Amino acid sequence: MSRIASVLLPMPLPEAFDYAEPEGMELSVGDQVAAPLGPRTLRGVVVALREAAGGNRPLKPLEARLEEPALPPATLEFVQWAARYAVDAPGQPLAIALRGARAPRPRPEKRVVLTGAAPARLTPAREKVLAAVDGFTGAPADLARAAEVSAGVVKGLIDEGVLRVELVQPQAAFPPPDLARPRPPLNPSQAAAAQALAAMMDETGFNVALLDGVTGSGKTEVYLEAVAHALAADPAAQILVLLPEIALTQAVIARFEERFGVRPGEWHSDVAPPARRKVWEAVAAGRCPIVVGARSALFLPFANLKLIVVDEEHDTSFKQEEGFIYHARDLAVVRGKMEAAAVVLASATPSLETLRNAETGRYRWLKLSARHGTAQLPQIDLIDLRESPPEAGRWLSPPLVAAMGETLARGEQTLLFLNRRGYAPLVLCRACGERLTAPDTDSWLVEHRYSGRLVCHLTGFSMPKPKACPHCGAVDSLVSIGPGVERVEEEARSLFPEARVAVFSSDTVFDAREARRLVESMAAGEIDILVATQAAAKGHNFPNLTLVGVVDADLGLRGGDLRAAERTYQLLAQATGRAGRRDRPGRALLQTYAPDHAVMQALAAQDRDAFVAAEMEERELAGLPPFGRLGAVIVSSENPQALEAFVQQMAAAAPNAEGVEVYGPADAPLALVRGRRRKRFLVRADRGVDLSAYLAAWRARVKPPASIRVAIDVDPYSFL
């Protein structure tokens, strides 16, 4: 009797499809198969097999079992769980899990091998080649270099038929780490934390630890010790290190190379597809011991995952906002549980959710309260812009300019931090007051002087800056409002023409290689003033950086985001923490119009505990995370009337449930994006409520027409 294979396809489909297993195919759960769907053939994954019991309709047979690595059971379980949690189709996370499998393989390599034929004559040079070729894997030119002969000697042996060149697909594998390499000495605090992590990993089953250390306390060295312990306990173990920014991967990979003598697997959007394919296959085969990557690396098909490290666990970049919506930190904990692996969450400014879990004992709490070596935390001072405003047309206040001059005179470096790309965030017409926005989108256009263009950072739309106002036609009436990093750079150059000034943002650093080059230049002292967004505000170590100036400390506090205070504290603590990380004392100056705000006071006093306690109290009174749950439902359409009718229908269909409150529908703050009108619902639930199940039940009650899109965001981080 033939079997029925349930096949999950990497598409936004609600469930797996059933196919007939052809005779002799001998499928197993996790196998990749070629499955017909309408006129197309798609790659899919077998998620279940059952005996056929005389169904009432014939099933299409599968076309082939692909000669590709199967997805391990834990990976399949994780993919399906993630879909249920995010209230999304299971094919969406599966598409992420198969991304590497669908990439092209690296090009075959040339290999020189013996044919068994004897050479017509044997010269000393030929003897060297024949001695070197035994066990050699490489191209003819490589063999010539290894044997220390000319390329013509190798070519002559090939022409004679003694050697043959073959094209061989290289094995997807990474060399094992060298655990015997010397490591930097740990201070007592680091050693205690490393011992606690080792003891945690020696226990059977799943455990989570928060590695909570001030900036510069040496958290990376501690979790490198945890990596070494995991590999010593099980040489076949695999370790995943998640990072929030591509810009950080090169520095962390360099630390791994220094510690273990080999380069780990790298996984993020800047990795070329063939290299991504190599990492994917090596991970599936258990031949990639360490992976350092961005959030999507969480979906790789690990064969023996034993440790997950989430570095900078508080960072909002771990939240995927488009396509399949998820938070990598939260899913990392779940994947660790499914794999019976240890999970380490590392941060100098942990999220309130993670701190709450540590306070209640769900996570182990390991603290590093002092900087490594002789380095001290920087002194943080507030500049009240109401009392010390910048000069007209400028953005740097006199106290900050004076501090920059003193820093330059000492031969030290300055970081000017402003988390706003481009030259100016708004372009305004003086004649009619028109604010330039992207077509079919409410988002303001940002001026970029480097390129001479106006850019929408939401949709990617860009256009040359016009000479006349598109609304009223007035010529030379467009003015730039507010500062971006390019404008601050312009001001720094005019104030200190002798200084070497550079900008670090996603507009000036396009890939990981360029990020590494700029970071190395800064670390080597080749830059005097670095103007940067958050890309340079975390994880980097600049020995000669002693002054951090925050140009607009109030920026993150604007708007109605419930996490605004928490995010601002985290970002500014990370940015100011770049100063004074070696033996020279550091200083940070925060320009603010609200020096009395709780965030500013906590930063100046360096009293994180007081800020966290006050923020926790407010959240608990409101039943907001981490004491409650939030879900967002975003509904959009090109037809405003159809959108309004549907959201009213949806509001009426909301299930009544104890401990759940539904707010909305309301216009989203960005009510028009890419020509689509947007409405939002916000759902607040008590901690014990299964929010995903509630949202799934609600969505099942309404069937949107083709013109309506419904997106669900469990635990939203963006409220736009």
Backbone angles phi, psi at 159, to 5 degrees: -65, -30
149 and 198 assigned to the same domain: no
pLDDT at 56 (0 to 100): 65
Residue closest to 342 by CA, chosen among 215, 188, 229, 213: 229
Residue 304 contacts residue 237 (beta carbons within 8 Å): yes
Is the residue at 102 inside a domain?
A: no
Query: Are 208 and 290 in a shared domain?
Result: yes
**Residue 118: inside a domain:** yes
Phi, psi of 93 (to 5 degrees): -70, -25
Residue 254: per-residue pLDDT = 87
Whether 279 contacts 288, CB under 8 Å:
yes
Residues 154 and 234 in one domain: no
pLDDT at residue 373 in the model: 61
Residues 489 and 598 in one domain: yes
Is residue 114 included in any domain, yes or no?
Answer: yes
Contact 331, 86 (CB under 8 A): no
Q: What is the CATH number of the domain that holds 633?
A: 3.30.70.600
Same domain (yes/no): 302, 227: yes
pLDDT at 539: 64
Phi-psi sector, 286: left (phi>0), alpha (psi -120 to 50), beta = left
The reply to whether 295 falls in a domain is yes
CA–CA gap between residue 488 and residue 555 (Å, rounded): 15
Closest to 335 measured CA to CA, from 601, 93, 629, 684? 93
363 and 498 both lie in a single domain = no
Same domain membership, residue 665 and residue 526: no
CA angle 594, 600, 606 (to 5 degrees): 165
Residue 431, in any domain of the structure? no
Domain of 276, CATH number, reads 3.40.50.300
Q: What is the pLDDT of residue 215?
A: 81
Q: Are 666 and 632 in contact (CB under 8 A)?
A: no
Residues 92, 117 within the same domain: no
DSSP conformational letter for 444: B
Last residue of a domain, one of 594, 616, 638: 616
Q: What share of the chain is helix, strand, coil (3-state, %, to 5)?
A: 35, 25, 40
CA distance 118 to 616: 80
Does 354 share its domain with 384?
Answer: no
- Three-class SS state of 23: coil
Is 459 within a domain?
Answer: no
Nearest to 213 by CA among 204, 226, 222: 222
Q: What are phi and psi of 354, to 5 degrees?
A: -70, -40
Both tokens of residue 269?
A: 């959007």
From 73, 97, 121, give the residue that closes a domain: 97
- Partners of 207 in the β-ladder: 342
What pLDDT, on the 0 to 100 scale, is given for residue 37? 93
Q: Which residue has the tokens 């920059």?
A: 404
Per-residue confidence (pLDDT) for residue 451, from 0 to 100 = 85
Query: Are 399 and 510 in the same domain?
Result: yes
Range of the domain at 656: 628-714
Distances (CA, A) of 507 to 271, 315, 550, 568: 19, 20, 20, 22
Ranges of the chain with pLDDT below 50: none
Domain contains 433:
no
467: buried, middle or exposed (CB in 10 Å: 19+, 13-18, 0-12)? Answer: exposed
Same domain, 532 and 565: yes
Residue 402 placed within a domain: yes
Q: What is the dihedral of CA 229, 231, 235, 238, to 10 degrees?
A: 140
Q: What confidence score (pLDDT) does residue 624 get? A: 93
Please list the alpha-helical segments (H only) found in 271-374: 273-285, 328-339, 352-359
CATH of the domain at 91: 3.40.1440.60
3-state secondary structure 105-155: CCCCEEEEEECCCCCCCCCHHHHHHHHHHCCCCCCHHHHHHHHCCCHHHHH
Cis previous bond, 39, omega within 30: no
Pairing label, strands 207-213, 163-168:
unpaired
Tally of domains within the chain: 5
Separation between Cα atoms, residue 171 and residue 153, nearest integer Å = 29
**Side-chain-side CA neighbours of residue 671 (13 Å):** 7
DSSP run (H or E) holding 47: strand 40-51
Cα within 13 Å of Cα(65), Cβ side: 16
Residue 538: predicted pLDDT? 67
Tokens coding 199:
């003891």
Of residues 195, 276, 180, the one with CA closest to residue 231: 180
> Is the four-CA dihedral 593, 594, 596, 602 of positive or negative sign?
negative
* Whether residues 28 and 113 fall in one domain: no
